[in-house]
Amino acid sequence: MYLDRIIEKCLKRDRAAEKLLYLHFAKQVFGICRRYSNDDHQAEDYMQDGFMKVFSNLKSYDAKKGHIEAWIVRIVVNTILSNKRKHKMKHQELQTELTDHLAVAPEESDEVLFRDIQASELLTAIRQLPTKYRDVLNLFIFENLTHQEIAQLMNIEVSSSRSRLTRAKKLLKTILTKQVTIPV
Amino acid sequence: MNDNWNHIRKIADSIGSDLDAEAAWDRFEQRPERRKRRSLFWWSTGAVGVLALFLLLGFFFIKDHHQSLQEVVADESMIDTSLKNKTTLDVKLDKEKKLDQIALQQRQNPHLEFNETQSQFQSKLKAKLKSKAKPLTDQVLVEKSNTTSIYQAQAQQEVNESLVQNSTVELGQTHNTSATETALSDSTSFILEMANDLSTQQADAVETNSMKQKDMTKNMGSYPIEQTVQDSYSAVFHKPDHTSPITIDIGIDSKITQSKTSISTIPLPISTNLHFASTILQIEDYIQLDNQLSNTKHLFSKSWTVQARHIYGIASRTLTGDDELFNNRRSAQEDLKELNATELLITRQLTPLFSISSGLSVGQYRVKLFEVNQDVIQNVVFEDVLLERLFKGGEIEERRGRFVGSQTITTERTRFQQYQDISVPVYANLHIKITPKLNLMMSTGASISLVNMTKGVTFESTISAGTYQSLDQLNYRSIGLIQGLANLSLSIQLNQKLDIQLGGHLRQDFTNRFKQSEASTDRFNSYGVMLGIQRRF
């Protein structure tokens, strides 16, 4: 009910309500944007662009089809992907070259390694992934999309989505393994 | 393995927890898109406010204008009442009065024409009166009643007066009026019937004459001067028609509608059979569509538009200088100033936000002056006035003579002045899209006139019976009048090619309407509403 009232006022261009909605979802959205970005500045740009789209498209939100949180996440993720297509980042390609040569850690150690990591370590590991792997990983693991949806969204084959996910998981494990096993 | 990923998801939920949301909001508010939206809101609010102010002021002005007219009418009623109170003779029978009125009108207005039937009827009446005349009693009868419309083309000055006569008898015998009335009612009822018929036909004749005069005025192209000539004994006060119709010509106006594509204006497609999660795909389509539409902006950025619009405004004027004539007459006596202008413009859309317009404008300021003056003149000699009527042996004899009395002159004047110009306006337009079919346009510009014309007459002296002078002789400029223009309007898109436009208009003279040799300054300004239509090509 609280969010419904806020949304209702946001539709009337009430700035106070817009601020409340922003503050309510800002941290969650920022976390998402961080996973898709290479640094926090870029993440904030994604977040601000995403909220801009959220407020300008709020009238198209239908509460009967899902919760506002899910709708906002979809808008933000879509905005991120759209921005990425517009501004292809060269350093991502360089990273791809580097990370493709990382050794893949053995799967047996996954459970132990994953339970000990912190959020910052996870974020660092995700950011080290090549963009094409990172995006598929984010969409599949964190946004719960299917491979068909990912393929359609990223304009790739379903099989490519599957292979990228597999590769992303292995790379992430490798990175996390190194982070965890290597003392700071 | 799945537990690992669930654990990863939980960890990922806290990735953004260290964000300072308040600071991020402040940065969000500083983004250009947000500032633009806020400025758009205030511009829109301001535009609506200004438009409402225009309408409100216009409403009150029209209301005040009607009130001023009512006050004038009320003053005339007072004049009428006071004149009635001055009557010293008894009121006669209505039908008898009609008979006298006819005779008096015929004497005072020789040009008044009777048709053949009326002339024959009158002759028969006179014959019957003569044959049935009986010596009864003498009665003083002084009666005049006349109402005519006289036009400037016929007599500009001397006939622009209302005669109200309050007279005393110099010659003739005075007897008991009531006895006369009794005798009339008993013995001459047939006369009254005939008189009634005759008066009806006489009224037709008066109407015919009035129509002829109007036709004459129309043919001569002059401006009518309303005038009422009225007798102090007349039971009917013929009120002049000062309430000349105020015609609010609503023409057409137009504006450019720019097509600014915005993501906010495109509704998301609604999928009814997919899970909500699939909307991410729809949003992707939606963003792609937005990008495509963004690329079509150039289609509108260089378009041509033809606009036609009409402006109706409430005007005022600033008159400065030492000329007492202008200050008195125009500042105090004017009760109507209005602007009518029609513009035909061609607009070039340079960018989605900016365009320029130019074309031709025909404008007219219309000024109405109304004045009522009343002067009483004593010891005025009236010649050939019906003094008494004798009833002898069934016959009626009329005695006429001269009498001296006071005369009240009521002068009513209505003057119309027109200031016309044909000019070339140039506008710079700013377009702001509010909704897909609603746009706000702000325009500012100036115009220079190719032709200035003035029509009508104006007072030359400050006395009520003064003469009048044509505006053309008052040293007004005939070319080169520069005016500042400003519009604020809303445009509603009817279809892809056609828009209608409604808004407010401001106009201000930048130059003096007088020539440089004239010491006085005369500048008009106006505000009003405009309605237009535009067609894109």
Instruction: Choose the final residue of a domain: B411, B430, B460.
Output: B411
CA distance B144 to B233: 7
Residues B173 and B314 in one domain: no
Banded pLDDT at A8 (limits 50, 70, 90): confident
From first to last of its 537 residues, what are the pLDDT tens digits of chain B? 566 778 888 888 888 888 888 899 988 888 877 777 666 667 777 777 777 776 666 655 544 444 444 444 334 333 333 333 333 333 344 445 555 665 666 555 544 444 454 556 556 655 655 554 444 333 333 333 333 333 333 333 333 343 333 433 333 333 444 444 444 444 445 445 555 555 555 555 545 555 544 454 444 333 333 333 333 333 333 333 333 333 333 333 333 333 333 333 334 444 434 444 444 555 555 555 555 545 444 444 458 899 999 999 998 888 777 666 666 666 556 677 889 999 999 999 888 889 999 999 999 998 877 666 677 888 888 888 888 888 877 888 888 888 888 888 776 666 777 888 999 999 999 999 888 889 999 999 999 999 888 877 666 545 445 556 667 777 888 888 999 999 999 999 888 788 999 999 999 999 998 887 777 888 899 999 999 999 888
Domain with B204 in it: 61-243+378-411
Determine, for residues B280 and A35 on separate chains, whether the beta-carbon distance falls below 8 Å: no
B435 touches chain A (CB under 8 A): no
Q: Which residue of B has its CA nearest to A41?
A: B24
B428 and B279 in a single domain? The answer is yes
Is B5 among the domain residues? no
Decide if B161 contacts B404 (C-beta within 8 A).
no
Q: Assign B337 to helix, strand or coil.
A: strand
Residue B271, domain CATH: 2.40.160.20
Mutant choice from A78, A84, A139 vs B, greatest count of B C-beta within 10 A? A78
Q: Which amino acid is at B333?
A: Q
Q: Do A35 and B263 touch (CB under 8 A)?
A: no
**Nearest residue in chain A measured CA to CA from B271:** A65
Nearest Cα to B339, choosing from B418, B416, B393? B418
The pLDDT value recorded for residue B407 is: 83
Q: What pLDDT does B185 receive?
A: 44
Q: Which residue of A has its CA nearest to B34?
A: A52
- Count other Cβ atoms within 10 Å, centred on residue B94: 12
Tell me whether residues B9 and A141 touch, CB distance under 8 A. Answer: yes
Q: Any CB–CB contact under 8 A between B23 and chain A?
A: no
What's the domain count of chain B? Answer: 2
pLDDT at site B124: 61
The 10 Å CB-count burial string (b at 16+, else e) for B100-109 is bbbbbbeeee
Q: What is the ipTM of this complex?
A: 0.82
> What's the pLDDT score for residue B138?
38
Q: Are residues B217 and B328 in the same domain?
A: no
**CATH for the A2-86 domain, from 1.10.1740.10, 3.40.50.720, 1.10.260.40, 3.90.180.10:** 1.10.1740.10
pLDDT at B70: 42
**B486, B182 contact by CB (below 8 A):** no
d(CA B427, CA B79): 52
Can you give the three-state secondary structure of chain A, one letter per residue? Answer: CHHHHHHHHHHCCCHHHHHHHHHHHHHHHHHHHHHHCCCHHHHHHHHHHHHHHHHHCHHHCCHHHCCHHHHHHHHHHHHHHHHHHHCCCHHHHHHHHHHCCCCCCCHHHHHHHHHCCCHHHHHHHHHHCCHHHHHHHHHHHHCCCCHHHHHHHHCCCHHHHHHHHHHHHHHHHHHHHHHHHCCC
Cβ pair A78:B25 closer than 8 A: no
Hunting for tokens 């132990």 — which residue is that?
A112
Between positions 27 and 86 of B, the ones with CB within 8 A of A are 27-28, 31, 33-34, 41
Note the pLDDT tens digit of each residue in A69-107: 889 998 999 889 888 887 765 445 444 444 444 544 444
Please tell me the distance from the alpha carbon of residue B190 to that of residue B202, in angstroms, as a whole number: 18
Mutation target to probe the A interface, by most A beta carbons within 10 A, among B9, B36, B284 is B284
Residue-wise over A29-64: b if at least 16 C-beta within 10 A, else e?
bbbbbbbbbbebebbbbbbbbbbbbbbbbbebbeee
Contact B278 A149 (CB under 8 A): yes
Q: What's at A40, amino acid-wise?
A: D
* pLDDT (tens digit per residue) in A132-184: 899 999 999 888 889 998 988 888 889 999 999 999 988 888 888 765 443 43
Alpha carbon separation from B496 to B258, B307, B355, B473 (Å, rounded): 11, 15, 18, 51
User: Are B13 and A28 a contacting pair at CB < 8 A?
Assistant: yes
B172 and B294 both lie in a single domain: no
CA distance B131 to B124: 11
B282 shares a domain with B198: no
Residues 6+ apart with CB under 8 A from B346: B304, B305, B306, B307, B357, B358, B359
The full length of chain A comes to 184
Q: Are A173 and A113 in contact (CB under 8 A)?
A: yes
**CA dist B40 to A12, B35, B47, B66, B434, Å?**
15, 8, 10, 39, 8
Given a cut of 80, whether residue A6 has pLDDT beyond it is yes
Interface of B with A in 469-498 (CB under 8 A): none
Cβ within 8 Å, pair B263-A33: no
Q: How far is the C-alpha of A75 from the C-alpha of A78, rounded, in Å?
A: 5
What residues of chain B lie within 8 A of the CB of A110, using their CB?
Answer: 1, 4
Q: Which of B16, B34, B41 sits opposite A30 (nearest CB)?
A: B16
Same-domain pairing of B382 and B418: no
Give the closest-approach CA distance of A31 to chain B in angstroms. Answer: 4
Q: Pull the structure tokens for residue B352.
A: 């989605």
**How far does the CA of residue B353 sit from the closest CA of chain A (Å)?**
20
Q: How far apart are the first and last CA of chain A?
A: 47
pLDDT of residue B43: 72
Residue type, A163: S
Whether B11 sits inside 8 A of A141 (CB atoms) is no
Percent of chain A at pLDDT > 70 equals 80
Instruction: Residue A79: list chain B partners with CB under 8 A.
Output: 287
Contacting residues of A for B263, CB less than 8 Å apart = 53, 56-57
Q: Where are the domains of chain A?
A: 2-86, 90-181
Question: What region does B221 belong to: left with phi over 0, alpha with psi -120 to 50, or beta?
Answer: left
Q: Do B27 and A44 touch (CB under 8 A)?
A: yes
Nearest Cα of chain B lies from the Cα of A8 at a distance, in angstroms, of: 17
CA A31/CA A60 separation, integer angstroms = 24
B402 and B321, same domain (yes or no): no
Residues B419 and B406 in one domain: no
Last residue of a domain, one of B361, B396, B411: B411
B318 and B298 belong to one structural domain? yes
Question: Which residue from B minimizes the CA distance to A30?
Answer: B16
Backbone region of residue B292 per phi and psi (left: phi > 0; alpha: psi in -120 to 50; beta: other values): alpha
The verdict on B270 and B147 lying in the same domain is no
Q: What is the pLDDT of residue B371?
A: 66
Q: Say yes or no: B149 and B103 in one domain.
A: yes
Taking an 8 Å cut-off on Cβ atoms, the answer to whether B11 and A117 are in contact is yes
- Domain-located, residue B209: yes
Q: B516 touching A, CB under 8 A?
A: no
Q: Do the first three CATH levels of A2-86 and A90-181 match, i.e. the same topology?
A: no
Is there a contact between B373 and B419 (Cβ–Cβ < 8 Å)?
Answer: no
List chain B residues with CB under 8 Å of A29. 16
Q: What pLDDT is recorded for position B517?
A: 77
CA–CA separation, B107 and B228 (whole Å): 18
Q: In the numeric block, which tokens belong to residue B337?
A: 């100033």
Bridge partners (DSSP) of residue B522 are B319
d(CA B533, CA B537): 14
Instruction: Write out chain B residues lying below 8 Å of A57, CB-based.
Output: 263-264, 268
Measured distance CA(B362)–CA(B420) in Å, rounded: 8
CB-based burial, A115-149: b 16+ in 10 Å, e otherwise: eebebeebbebbbbbbbbbbbbbbbbbbbebebeb
**Same-domain pairing of B446 and B389:** no
What residue of B is the nearest CA neighbor of A70?
B277
- Select the CATH number that applies to the domain covering A90-181 from these four: 1.20.1260.10, 3.30.70.1350, 2.60.40.10, 1.10.10.10: 1.10.10.10
The CA distance from B189 to A39, in Å, is 116
In a domain, B253, yes or no: no
Assign B344 to helix, strand or coil. strand
pLDDT of res. A163:
92
Q: Distance (Å) from the C-alpha of residue B17 to the closest C-alpha of chain A?
A: 5
Task: Please say whether the beta carbons of A143 and B11 come within 8 A.
Answer: no
Q: Is the pLDDT of residue A121 over 50?
A: yes
C-alpha separations of B146 from B91, B164, B203, B231 in Å: 16, 10, 11, 6
